[in-house]
Structure 1
Amino acid sequence: MNQNLRRGALLAGIVLIAFLSCGFTWGGKDKCTEARETIEKITPESAAAERAEAERKVRELCPDGGAPLYLKGISMEAAHDIDGAVTAYRDALAKDPLLLQARGRLGLLLLAKGNREEASVALFEAARQTKEPRFARALADIFLDAKLYALALSQYRQVQPSFPDDANLYLGIARSYRGLGDQNHALEALQDALRLQAGNATTHLELATLYQERNDYEKAAAHLRQAIIADPDNASYHFRLAQLLELSGKRDEAAKEYARSGVKRTDTLADHLKRAAKYEDEGEFALAATEYRAMLVKNPDAAGVREKLGDAELSAGHDAEAIAAYEDALRKKEDSGRVRYHLGTLYERKGDLDEAVRNFSASLRLDPVNSDARRRLADIYALRGDLEEAIRAYQDLISRQADNPLNYLKLARLQEKRRTYKDAVDSYEKALALDSANSEAHRSIAFLFLRLKQPEQAEQHLREVLKLDPRNAQARDALISLSVKQKKYDQVTSLLEEDAQLNPQSADSQYRLGVIYAFKREDEKALQQFDAALKLKPDHARALNALGKLYLKEGERDKAREAFEAARKADPNLLEPVELWSKLSTQPKKYVEKKKTSRKHALEKNKKKSSSTAGSRKTKKSAGKAESKKKKSSQRKTR
């Protein structure tokens, strides 16, 4: 008897873990696939009514999947909440990695935010597995920016039929050809772009550059003048034209263009420096860059001006121009740790990690105390999966800057990846010693202790996480699972009650609290929680199923049958996770009566059989007695 009780308690504990720790995703695969197909054509440009209809269908098909989160991202993107949309798309992909539209849209937003490296990964996957041309087009732009001209040209050509009237696409094609050294095809693509948009200043500038490279200064100047017509107040256009005219020997015309660009030929280098400093103080970095360029026109050997030009372009947000200025400084032997650091930052932003590593390493050789360069280098090693190099870089950083908890936290994660768990624990503890309120450090070390099967230490840190961040669902679920395994059911109840209070609009949170109440046989409370879950989500299949079991337990068979029917309708594929309630029957009364009748007939049949057997035994006994008397009589006669 005790053994059976222990076995029942173990089974109940397993069930509880299954209910409380799982993601509630049993079955529903086909419906989630259908939901995925429903959202494929929904974009931020879709009509509000169309998005609303898609949301309705998705809620019916796969409410707990990634599709609803994708639609949330679409709505946020339509409302220009880019950060919110990025988070929603990430959450959608965490739920359903097959949501390629979410992956593509995430890539587009990351690209717009300047995160080219992560954007390229997302867009590559989306472009490879979907027929959406926008993803391939964006990927082409990334390839072009990274100077991967052949790859860029391949992507542009692939999507060209989808964008027949896009002048910028032809600009991309032209730049790809130029990068490959094919000026003739580049010229053809630029002429196509010009036919589509005759007043495009950028196209005219590209044509001017191309003709200038061919020493055709007349055509180059003509296109620069067209660019000025498109944007007459752009000082840099006038400045470029002035330089070109000066090369052509037209000094008078050049002087006029220099004046229009704000550059006076009679000004001294000191005048330019003074104006540049003034513009920088006012935040007019593009104008400051113009002054530095003017200085280089007058005195190409002016020392330190190229670095200042790079700084101004960097501050103005002109990354390509900044790289060109810094690289020009290196060619002029004006090397420094600062120039190398800025080049490393710019190349990292572009996604060219090899060049970033080269320049950050050079920066550290020239300036060993540059902790920012060392940290950026360590981050790149970690990103590339070079754990040994990354760990060495962080250890070196810590040896120079031992009071930064973030360095210890990053080192601990790398050590954990390398499976040197003792070192990782030590680094996590040092991070917490410097910043005891770091919830992320508490969470990370807690999960490491769980892996090392040290539940007491893990519980301590998980509780700290919830003190600092009560809404941390990952930490709460881990603590619930741990408490179930330790049979601390009152603790489980407390955690789930807090979860239900923090998430009053979550049907799952209300349902999970109902599960623990039902497990503890607090049926009235369980009933209230299941009702609360169903008010929030009337087709919550598991809540309906649990409600039916409660009704069945209370003997309300009709209500139980209705609940079970509703649960089957809400999710036809719902399976019982374990046979907790297998001995409970939902058989109709007629079936039960039929079964009782069959049992009655069987009893009567057995009774008749018993009577027949008894009569047979009696007959045999009488026959035996008669035979015995006959033998005795025969013996007497013989005597």
Structure 2
Amino acid sequence: MKRHSMHRLFFLLLPFVFVSSGFTWSSKGEEPCDTAKKVIDGISDVTPAADRSSAQKKVAKLCKEGAAADYLKGVDLEAAREVEDAISAYRSALKKDPSLPDAHGRLGLLLLQTGKREEGSVELFRAVRQKKSPLYAKALGGLFLKGKLYSLALESFKEGMPALKEDVALFNGMGRGYLGLADTAKAGEMFSEALRLDAANEVAHLGLAQVCEQEKKYKEAVSHLRSALAMTPDNRESHYRLGQLLEKMGETAEAEKEFGAAGVARNASPPDHLDLAARYSASGAYDRAAAEYDAALLQNPQMPGIREKLGDARMAAGHDLEAIAAFEDAMQRKEGSDRTCYKLGILNERKGDLDEAVTRFEEAIRLNNGNGDARRHLAEIHGLRGNVQEAIDEYRELIRRHGENPLNYFKLARLLEKKRDYKGATDAYLKAIALDADNIEAHREVARLYLRKKDPAEAEKHLREVLRLKPDDSAVRASLVSILLKQRRFDETTLLLEEEAKLTPANPESHYRLATIYAYRQKDDAAVGEFKKAVELKPDHARALNGLGKLYLKLDRQQEARDAFAAARKADPNLIMPVSFERGLDRDNPRPVVKKKAKKHPKSHPQAKRKKSAKKKRERR
């Protein structure tokens, strides 16, 4: 067989190596775009302009159209206070490379700034998973605090602590977190540290007033409240709290002044207070509503049904510990209901007291078997604690009692997987999809299960649905390509890879993959073009250079093949293919043959003895 025919045969067989090995695309060595990512590490809107400019020049040389360049553009826009444009730039960077922690972090902070709290929290969470950053940890802690997730808030604040030891807001946040967990001693330490840093800090004074009140140190609580009011004299809530404390201390006249400053009509009748409380609640003024319910109970402590409303108002205002006290008072007086138990469960869950939360949710279900919210929370806690069968039972009961909900089926499927009930899990995922055809996670998970049980046809259906809903999901696209290649469905494979190259034009791997399938299908010009694009984006892309060399060899462009193989070997000295092909090229210019020297054996070796004996025989002759 001729030399070029041999090379062509090898080239045509090469794609089947990809098929048999699962069609992986891993590469060795660091890409210029990866180096660019290191350049931008730590660059933000507060970085001096000269340093930002220097980073931009370096990145432009390394990866001009890459994610790092878009990130620096976002930083400049953020420094210029062009928030919406900065958000767009950070999004563009993350579309090209989701592994940029600072892009996630800066985007998260800007989203919070523009009121997009939920989306911002997701970006911040992604940032802190990829990189330890005091700034992002503190912001995430604040979000957890607003959500009453006190333990998580404290964890985040502690991550920021070493670098932010002079940050008053951080210590106040930790103080509020410890108050949420009913740890008044620790809360007092944190608020005191905040006051050490800023003696006129209103939040710290209010926090210490709450700590002192709970520890029944009323005089100290009054002192802190007066200090807070010196800074914000119109704070009605502080006036009301001060009035309550003064009343407990027997200073009625002073208390009346404070209640007046708070806008609470002390001479009103209990029904008037309830009417005002309802109006305040309707308008979202929950602190004032709570004050009116308090005033009504001061006048008539035996008034039924008010403590639960008081608890609702305090809970809505964010005063969880006071809300728990009101709800528990209602339960002791036999005024509570399954709803009261449910809310006590929620508040204890927020506090991190899961045992008490479970007790309250179970009590709510006992009082009302149809309380689906309590059952849902109970199922989630069981799942969190690893009580898988108990969680499964609760979700099944939820479905039986409250109808078919795609989220309940999805969570049930996840739990059934943990029990290795793969058929049951598959059925539950399919039920979730039947109820919500656009449930992307259910499609993704059931496709994985079908692949597990060697059913590529069903897996393909759901992978295609994921791509319909999220075309830029590279992992799902790779799984689908693998299925199609194994079935030799090359037209569809090519289409998928062409779509990928259009979606991610700055990704050299997308062009490399497309070039490989073009080469296999003997679309040589197209393959050369895609290999070249991959090399333009990543000049040391060894496998793309190798593929380009093999194509040139096939097209009898030997010098270009030689150059490509040399570049591939330089990019990755461990790559075997370029070396073997270069040796094939060198057959036209064979190297001089060097004779090997005969191997010397030691005297004791049998071969040496035989040689010695033969020599003696020759000498005797």
- State the TM-score, normalized to the length of structure 1: 0.72
Question: Are the equivalent residues in 1 in contact too, given 2:67–2:93 (CA < 8 A)?
Answer: no
One-letter amino acid matched to 2:171: L
One-letter amino acid matched to 1:46: T
Please say if 1:558 is aligned against 2:559: yes
Shift of 1:534: 4.4
Tell me the number of residue pairs that the alignment of Structure 1 and Structure 2 aligns: 581
Shift of 1:523: 0.5
> Cα RMSD over matched residues?
5.3
Q: 1:593 aligns with which of 584, 589, 593?
A: 589
One-letter amino acid matched to 2:367: L
Shift of 1:123: 11
SS across alignment from 1:585: helix
The equivalences for 1:141-180 within 5 A come to: 159=161, 163-164=165-166, 166=168, 169=171, 172=174
Deviates more, 1:537-546 or 1:299-308: 537-546
Question: Are the equivalent residues in 1 in contact too, given 2:218–2:249 (CA < 8 A)?
Answer: yes
Partner residue, 2:461: 460
Question: Are the equivalent residues in 2 in contact too, given 1:208–1:220 (CA < 8 A)?
Answer: yes
Alignment partners' CA distance in 1, 2:96 and 2:290:
43
The equivalences for 1:602-617 within 5 A come to: none
The equivalences for 1:121-520 within 5 A come to: 135=137, 159=161, 163-164=165-166, 166=168, 169=171, 172=174, 186=188, 193-209=194-210, 217-520=218-521
Shift of 1:226: 2.0
Shift of 1:514: 1.1
Alignment partners' CA distance in 1, 2:133 and 2:506:
38
Question: Are the equivalent residues in 2 in contact too, given 1:20–1:480 (CA < 8 A)?
Answer: no
One-letter amino acid matched to 1:584: F
Question: Are the equivalent residues in 1 in contact too, given 2:104–2:123 (CA < 8 A)?
Answer: no
Alignment partners' CA distance in 2, 1:412 and 1:491:
31
Partner residue, 1:528: 529
Question: Are the equivalent residues in 2 in contact too, given 1:103–1:122 (CA < 8 A)?
Answer: yes
Question: Are the equivalent residues in 1 in contact too, given 2:40–2:68 (CA < 8 A)?
Answer: yes
**Residues 370 and 511 of structure 1, relative CA distance in 2, 3 Å threshold:** same
**Residues 449 and 180 of structure 1, relative CA distance in 2, 3 Å threshold:** closer
Identity across the alignment (%): 41
Please say if 1:26 is aligned against 2:22: no
Q: 2:17 aligns with which of 15, 18, 21?
A: 15
SS across alignment from 2:582: coil
Alignment partners' CA distance in 2, 1:337 and 1:490:
61
Alignment partners' CA distance in 1, 2:123 and 2:350:
12
Shift of 1:373: 2.4
Deviates more, 1:335-344 or 1:75-84: 75-84
Alignment partners' CA distance in 1, 2:118 and 2:170:
19
SS across alignment from 1:430: helix
**Residues 344 and 62 of structure 1, relative CA distance in 2, 3 Å threshold:** farther
Question: Are the equivalent residues in 2 in contact too, given 1:141–1:172 (CA < 8 A)?
Answer: no
CA-to-partner distance for each residue in 1:404-447, whole Å, 9 max, x for gaps? 23322222222223221222222233333334444433332222
In structure 2, runs of 5+ residues without a counterpart are 597-621
Alignment partners' CA distance in 1, 2:348 and 2:67:
35
Shift of 1:334: 3.4
CA-to-partner distance for each residue in 1:285-316, whole Å, 9 max, x for gaps? 33222222222333334322222122223334
Alignment partners' CA distance in 1, 2:75 and 2:267:
57
One-letter amino acid matched to 2:487: Q
Alignment partners' CA distance in 1, 2:52 and 2:371:
51
Alignment partners' CA distance in 2, 1:297 and 1:489:
80
Shift of 1:152: 6.8
Partner residue, 1:635: none
Alignment partners' CA distance in 2, 1:463 and 1:111:
34
Shift of 1:267: 0.5
Question: Are the equivalent residues in 2 in contact too, given 1:209–1:220 (CA < 8 A)?
Answer: yes
CA-to-partner distance for each residue in 1:70-112, whole Å, 9 max, x for gaps? 98998999858899989999998x869xx8x899999999999
- State the TM-score, normalized to the length of structure 2: 0.74
Alignment partners' CA distance in 2, 1:307 and 1:91:
52
In structure 1, runs of 5+ residues without a counterpart are 603-639
User: Who wins on radius of gyration, i.e. which is larger?
Assistant: 1
Alignment partners' CA distance in 1, 2:150 and 2:443:
43
Alignment partners' CA distance in 2, 1:508 and 1:424:
35
